[in-house]
Amino acid sequence: MSALRLISNRTSQQALSNSDYTWDYEYYEYGPVSFEGLKAHKYSIVIGFWVGLAVFVIFMFFVLTLLTKTGAPHQDNAELSEKRFHMNSFVAEFGRPLESERVFSHQMAEESQSLFHFCINEVDHMNKEEESQKGPHLEKNTHFQEVPKSSGMFEEDLHCLTKFNIPNFVNTEQNSSLGEDDLLISEPPIIL
Amino acid sequence: NISDFSLNITDCTQVVVPEEVFFTVAAAGILENLLILIAVVRNKNLHLPMYFFICSLAISDMLGSLYKTLENIFIILCKMGYLTRHGDFEKKLDDAMDSMFILSLLGSIFSLLAIAADRYITIFYALRYHNIMTLRRALVILAIIWVFCAGSSIAIALFSYEAATVIPFTILFPLMMFFILCLYVHMFLLARSHAKKIASLPSSTVHHRTNMKGAITLTIFLGVFLCCWAPFVLHILLARFCPHNPYCACYMSIFHVNGTLIMCNAIINPMIFAFRSPELRSTFKKMFYCPR
């Protein structure tokens, strides 16, 4: 590697005398480096590089957090039905009922459960021929099947989402790139 | 004629990292990644494309740590006199080790890319995911990635003195990082819009905090990789283009620290990617705590 080989031969000459930790690789015709007349601090590249890297990472973090702050939550009762639909799809994503919606919880759970079953059946249809998919399918849908059991682990759901760890959820964006999958989420929930 | 130049008091001498630190960090990296490989092989539930890509990342991390360990052993053997510095065998061994290291770097980058693409497909093509990313396709993708990385690493190690290899290598690095960043930002935007929809429901106060968590996670993903690999990439650039410049030489004197950072990346990567999965964690618990 040129990087290794270009480490100064000079230090390997001194190394025999003072340091017992040497780089012994072949060195090519590069002569010793003169340190006379430096205008800036000799470690300026090191310092500049690390400061630049830190600034870049912090800048990236601020850009990402700014993305989170745009748009305030709005509570509009007129759009309650639309929210019920959205919540259906959201519950379909995480498989746990929202604690804040206990008023509709029974109906919601039933509808959302039916939506899961519909989704799960749909996916099962597609993967019927693949035996090996059953195992991972069950593993990925363990959240779906926990609808009746859990209560109010809302934060946990969003935490899972933001960890991108169990990301197998339905995309409800209007500009979604799903084709026939849109049919699944835009249909009214089917009681099976 | 040492007195003229090299014993200048303002010299930048090589910053030395103690051998014990090197070996400890390298051993920790190798062990951790080996554990992940064993866990994925033993648990049939983990035979998924997602975990195969994480295994690929574990293998490239292991190669990086292995390279550093072998290099240290090589140096110790040279010091003790078992190997000469100028022999042909040593040069070939050196070339082989260099290509292992570049293989590790390229493997890391492509594995991270594969993991990001896999998550992207999982989110945006959720119901067709099992058809798009079958097990066979994942293995084919991994085979292509590793063959490409092996070929490139051998080519780069053989022709490492040409500018034509250094420049593409250093351009590839930020390009891939940028692409991975775009994938994750798009996923992140989706997560944010979902959280906003949830937040629009009554009595929901958590969305700011969880989106903050998403921002932190993403920053950690990419920040760790950048901080561990970018110093070395800069070293290569400086070594190729300004080896005589005193500023560049001072930067190159911290080469061992950069190498240790790369090994730290091998330790941190499993924590960020592999140990986040509950299934993998439960496999570990079973491996260690279950009575045989």
Q: pLDDT tens digit string along A74-89? A: 434 444 444 444 444 4
A128 at the B interface (CB within 8 A)? no
Percent of chain A with pLDDT over 70: 16
Between vectors from CA A128 to CA A126 and to CA A134, what angle results, nearest 5°? 105
Counting the structural domains of chain B, the total is 1
The answer to whether residue B267 sits within a structural domain is yes
Overall average pLDDT of the A94-113 stretch:
43
Contact status, residue A87 vs residue A105, Cβ threshold 8 Å: no
Cβ of A49 within 8 Å of Cβ of B191? The answer is no
User: Residue B183 is which amino acid?
Assistant: L
Q: Is the model more confident about A158 or about B136?
A: B136
Q: Is the pLDDT of residue A25 over 60?
A: no
Cβ of A34 within 8 Å of Cβ of B85? The answer is no
B240 at the A interface (CB within 8 A)? yes
What sign does the CA torsion over A127, A133, A135, A136 have?
Answer: negative
The answer to whether residue B292 sits within a structural domain is no
Query: Which residues on chain A are in Cβ contact (under 8 Å) with B250?
Result: 42-43, 45-46
DSSP A173: -
Report the CATH number at residue B232. Answer: 1.20.1070.10
So what's the pLDDT on residue B273?
A: 84
CA–CA min distance A112, chain B (Å) = 15
Q: Is the model more confident about B244 or about A177?
A: B244
The answer to whether residue B34 sits within a structural domain is yes
d(CA B88, CA B73): 18
The answer to whether residue B99 sits within a structural domain is yes
Contact status, residue B190 vs residue A171, Cβ threshold 8 Å: yes
d(CA B35, CA B39): 6
Q: Is the model more confident about B266 or about A161?
A: B266
Average pLDDT of chain A, as a whole number: 50
pLDDT band at residue A120, thresholds of 50, 70 and 90?
very low
A37 at the B interface (CB within 8 A)? no
Closest CA to B197 of A118, A102, A106, A157: A157
So what's the pLDDT on residue A97?
A: 39
The answer to whether residue A161 sits within a structural domain is no
Compute the CA torsion angle A15, A20, A23, A28 (nearest 10 deg).
20
Contact status, residue A178 vs residue A171, Cβ threshold 8 Å: yes
Cβ of A6 within 8 Å of Cβ of B252? The answer is yes
Contact status, residue B54 vs residue B108, Cβ threshold 8 Å: no
Which residue range(s) make up the domain with A44? 38-70
User: Residue B41 is which amino acid?
Assistant: V
ipTM above 0.85, yes or no: no
Closest CA to B232 of B259, B210, B250: B259
* Ranges in chain B, pLDDT < 50: 1-9
The answer to whether residue B4 sits within a structural domain is no
d(CA B120, CA B128): 12
The alpha-helical segments, DSSP class H, found in chain B are: 19-42, 49-80, 88-124, 129-132, 135-158, 163-199, 207-241, 246-252, 255-272, 278-289
Q: Is the model more confident about B59 or about A26?
A: B59
Overall average pLDDT of the A1-27 stretch:
42
| CB neighbours of residue B257 within 10 Å | 14
Point out the residue among A7, A14, A170 whose CB comes nearest to the CB of B127. Answer: A170
Judging by beta carbons within 10 Å of its beta carbon (0-12, 13-18, 19+), is residue A8 exposed, middle or buried?
Answer: buried
Contact status, residue B235 vs residue B251, Cβ threshold 8 Å: yes
Q: Is the pLDDT of residue A23 over 80?
A: no
The answer to whether residue A58 sits within a structural domain is yes
CA–CA min distance A107, chain B (Å) = 17
So what's the pLDDT on residue A66?
A: 78
Cβ of A73 within 8 Å of Cβ of B200? The answer is yes
So what's the pLDDT on residue A72?
A: 35
Contact status, residue B29 vs residue B64, Cβ threshold 8 Å: yes
CA–CA min distance B210, chain A (Å) = 6
Q: Is the pLDDT of residue A134 over 70?
A: no
**Count of pairs with CB atoms under 8 A, one residue in A, one in B:** 265
Query: Which residues on chain B are in Cβ contact (under 8 Å) with A154?
Result: 198, 204, 206
d(CA B210, CA B141): 33
B222 at the A interface (CB within 8 A)? yes
Counting the structural domains of chain A, the total is 1
Which residue range(s) make up the domain with B234? 19-195+212-281
Residue of A4, A81, A176 best to disrupt the B interface, most CBs of B under 10 A: A4
So what's the pLDDT on residue A182?
A: 33
**pTM assigned to the model:** 0.65
User: How distant is the alpha carbon of residue B254 from its chain centre?
Assistant: 19
Closest CA to A47 of B288, B114, B12: B12
Radius of gyration of chain A (CA): 30
